[in-house]
Chains A and B, each alone.
Chain A
Amino acid sequence: SQQGEEDPQALSIQEGENATMNCSYKTSINNLQWYRQNSGRGLVHLILIRSNEREKHSGRLRVTLDTSKKSSSLLITASRAADTASYFCASSASTMGDMRFGAGTRLTVKP
């Protein structure tokens, strides 16, 4: 079964607005990662947060992790039309990369 569940399944916003996507997972993790997938393409790594971290930033991305609630959120600030894609969280109980993915959030940013 899937390890993670993203919420919402789909999100539509205007350019310039912030987008927040949430992810929940079921078991203890070593790290959690967020990936982006453009239609018909492979997944691209965005950011990794370890279980002992609570927040990380990368450019316009901000990820939080709450291990007590087994949840994470991805915030994209000042969204652009080029941010339109599906976003997946993935978690692993190990450091080796055998990740478990959620079903993803489909983000549409309207120009």
Chain B
Amino acid sequence: DAEITQSPRHKITETGRQVTLACHQTWNHNNMFWYRQDLGHGLRLIHYSYGVHDTNKGEVSDGYSVSRSNTEDLPLTLESAASSQTSVYFCASSAGTRLSGNTIYFGEGSWLTVV
């Protein structure tokens, strides 16, 4: 079955270190997204991509970057981790086009703690 996987599922890192969270989907979806989830805020969109070499900033993109070199992967990089980036990170993908909306499918989440 097609799926979307995130790694690592849990990570503890130190302030100032660079961290990369991996996301891999096997649905061949063009659209991929990164969200963070914090208590009281629901999910907030960090970055998203509508296809290879396309990236866009979301609501809370400062301190994060993404790159899309192929259809299957959208890694999320925290350039210099800060305690405020302690959160649960969710990757998602969808097959939506500009003509037809579609649902998005979520990974199981990556729990990141910055100490």
Give the B-binding residues of A (Cβ under 8 A): 1-2, 4, 30-31, 33, 35, 40-45, 48, 50, 88, 90, 92, 94-104
Contact = CB atoms under 8 A, between A and B. Distances in A.
Interface string B50-91: 100000101100000000000000000000000000000010
The size bracket of the interface on B is 20 to 34
A95 B102 contact: yes
Given A97-B48, A101-B44, 18 more contacts: A1-B59, A2-B42, A33-B104, A42-B109, A43-B90, A48-B102, A90-B43, A94-B96, A95-B96, A96-B50, A96-B97, A96-B98, A97-B92, A97-B103, A97-B104, A98-B31, A98-B58, A102-B42
A99 B96 contact: no
7 contacts: A42-B106, A94-B96, A95-B96, A96-B50, A97-B31, A97-B104, A98-B33
Interface of B: 31, 33, 35, 40-45, 48, 50, 56, 58-59, 90, 92-94, 96-109
